[in-house]
Amino acid sequence: MAGRMFSHLRRLSVAALLLCVSLPLVSCTEEAPLKIGFVAGLTGRVADLGVAGRDAVTLAVEEQNQAGGISGRKLELVTRDDQQNVEALKRAINEVIDQQVVAIIGPLTSSMAVEAQPLVNASKVVMISPTAKTDQLSGLDDFFLRVTAPISKNAQQLASYVAQDINLKRFAVVYDLSNRAFTENWLNSFTEAFEGHGGQVVAVEAFTSKPEAHFLPIAKQILQSGPDGVLLLSSAIDTALLAQQIRKLESPVALFSSEWASTTDLLSFGGRAVNGMQSFHSFNPNNQEPRYLAFKEKFTGRFGYAPSFATVLSYDAVSYLFAGLLKSTAETSLKKALLDVRRFPGLQSEMTLDSYGDVERKLFLTVIEDGQFKVVD
């Protein structure tokens, strides 16, 4: 009886071995996929950023897998929603780390990035944020990298432009407390630079983003100070709603926003109220480079909407990760391999990285005209 069972098991083992030899590249010899985490707000009032980022990373992973993966290994995307909530973020990061991801793309807001950084440092898992711009995370030897320039660059450029180029001297600022690592950093950087150019911030109003937020009292309050311009530091939906209330009061004041608001939700919810709104950011919607146009066509065909700054920067972030993965070895960690890439060709413009993984890249002045973002020459 035992002899017959041993003989049967032996025949099964031989058959399995022959199957592996006769069918190359099947699961018998194929290495497990490399897992990449993606953590961002996929629901709620910042979902426009998270969904755009997720879709861009999804497309990049699909393209890389079609090209053979990384060193012959396929890629697998592990996605989690941080809900723009600290506890949800911590759960999301721990879950993707438990999945043994090689790196994490995200988060897409500065407030979440500040909370995420200690977690990835403790686990020594590289995190690359497409859009978290807070200066709080600049100049640190850590596992948090990014592909966008810090807030101070945008704020200083806007302050110089409004004070010196279009001669606005009095500004009011409205900012969202739910993303303070971004908005307070923006407010302070802009105020310092604007006052350095002889301008004056005459009113500052804060609010916390939520569905029941009322923006008409805020609009009335800031306009009483008689500003030449109003800077809105909030998400696309909240920026759109604030602009509507300001225009309902028939104020001709010039409106400005941050990169955070520059998605299609700003156009959809803002309508005519956001026409003329200006901002400096790293995305050129009118870019005519063949590589970007090919990406735009593929992305729009795949997901049914046009790319935004979050789309392009998320695609840059995961492409940068691929470059690091191709260079990393048993002797060279992924973090070191990424930091050794000092210049990287993004979809629209080259980015230069320093030894801390902080980035410089070209900024574009855009204005909303006829429901579209257009670059001002």
State both tokens at 27. Answer: 């699961």
Tokens of 171: 């500004």
Strands 126-129 and 343-345: unpaired
Domain final residue, candidates 281, 316, 350:
281
Asked if the structure places residue 190 within a domain, the reply is yes
Buried residues in 110-147 as b, exposed as e (16+ CB within 10 A): bbbbbbbbebbeeeebbbbbbbbbbbbbbeeebbbbbb
Residues 251 and 204 in one domain: yes
* Domain's final residue, options 281, 301, 322: 281
Judge residue 229's burial from the number of C-beta atoms within 10 Å of its C-beta, 0-12 exposed, 13-18 middle, 19 or more buried.
buried
* 253 neighbors 279 (Cβ within 8 angstroms): no
Please report whether residue 377 resides in a domain. no
Q: Are residues 259 and 193 in the same domain?
A: yes
Query: In terms of DSSP H, where are the helices of the chain?
Result: 2-22, 47-66, 86-98, 110-123, 151-160, 180-196, 216-223, 236-248, 264-270, 290-303, 309-327, 334-339
Same domain, 313 and 266: no
CA distance 296 to 168: 36
Residue 369 lies in a domain: no
CATH (domain of 70): 3.40.50.2300
Let me know whether 143 and 233 are in one domain: no
Whether 131 is covered by a domain: the verdict is yes
Per-residue model confidence as pLDDT tens for the chain (377 residues): 444 443 443 444 444 444 443 334 434 446 899 999 999 999 988 899 999 999 999 999 999 999 999 999 999 999 999 999 999 999 999 999 999 999 999 999 999 999 999 999 999 999 999 999 999 999 999 999 999 999 999 999 999 999 999 999 999 999 999 999 999 999 999 999 999 999 999 999 999 998 888 999 999 999 999 999 999 999 999 999 999 999 999 999 999 999 999 988 999 999 999 999 999 988 998 899 999 999 999 999 999 999 999 999 999 999 999 999 999 988 889 999 999 999 999 999 899 999 898 999 999 999 999 999 999 87
Q: Which domain holds residue 207?
A: 152-281
Partners of 155 in the β-ladder: none
Residues 156 and 252 both lie in one domain: yes
User: What's the gap between Cα 171 and its chain centre?
Assistant: 28
Of all helices (H) and strands (E), which one includes residue 203?
A: strand 200-207
Residues 75 and 106 in one domain: yes
Contact assessment for residue 281 and residue 158, using Cβ atoms and an 8 Å cutoff:
no
Place of tokens 């080259």: 350
**Domain end marker among 255, 281, 307:** 281
| Same domain, yes or no: 140 and 157 | no
Q: For the chain, how many structural domains are there in total?
A: 2
In a domain, 101, yes or no: yes
Q: Is 134 in the same domain as 165? A: no
pTM metric for this prediction: 0.86
Of the candidates 273, 267, 209, the residue with the CA atom closest to the CA atom of residue 244: 273
Q: Is 246 part of a structural domain of the chain?
A: yes
Q: Let me know whether 128 and 171 are in one domain.
A: no
Q: Which helix (H) or strand (E) element contains residue 144? A: strand 144-146
Q: In a 10 Å sphere around its CB, with 0-12 CB exposed, 13-18 middle and 19+ buried, how is residue 91 labelled? A: middle
